[in-house]
Amino acid sequence: MNMLLLLEKNHNLYNDPFPKWRRVSWSSECSMVAVAYSNGVVEIFNTVGASLFTIYPPRAAELILIDFKGNVRSYFVSPTDGYQESHCFSFSRLYPYGISAAVDIGSLVIVAGFCHYTNDSSLRNNGLGHGLSIWRMLSDYPLLQTGG
């Protein structure tokens, strides 16, 4: 029987957001098939399409914590390996009195709070003049960069 048909009928199969990145490979004795998803998870199935086991990447997700003082702490978390601190950052240079809110939208973080530029008449048409700033998350140092 066609293994791809068995996998397609398997309703427990992960709904991959980037299916073009998914890879499928048979074991050398053709008794198992491995499906590698775009997030790094590899799931192993037997010949009837039942999941045998799942291998998670060492760092399954990133948890980003932002406190009211504007301190940012990032952790790599994993269901199998616990957590590991990744980096720290602080918005305190721009927001010395702390932040009121932070919202992430994709790879952007919108931060609101009272900053040095709040009520600056020359920045009236700029978000910073109202205490708003946009930051872009990077995968390398400095990890957060102003989006302006």
pLDDT of residue 125: 75
What phi-psi label fits residue 143: left (phi over 0), alpha (psi between -120 and 50 degrees) or beta?
left
pLDDT tens for 91-109 read 888 899 999 999 988 888 8
Mean pLDDT is lowest, of 7-21, 56-70, 77-91, for 7-21
Higher pLDDT, 139 or 126: 126
pLDDT of residue 32: 93
Per-residue pLDDT for 54 more than 60? yes
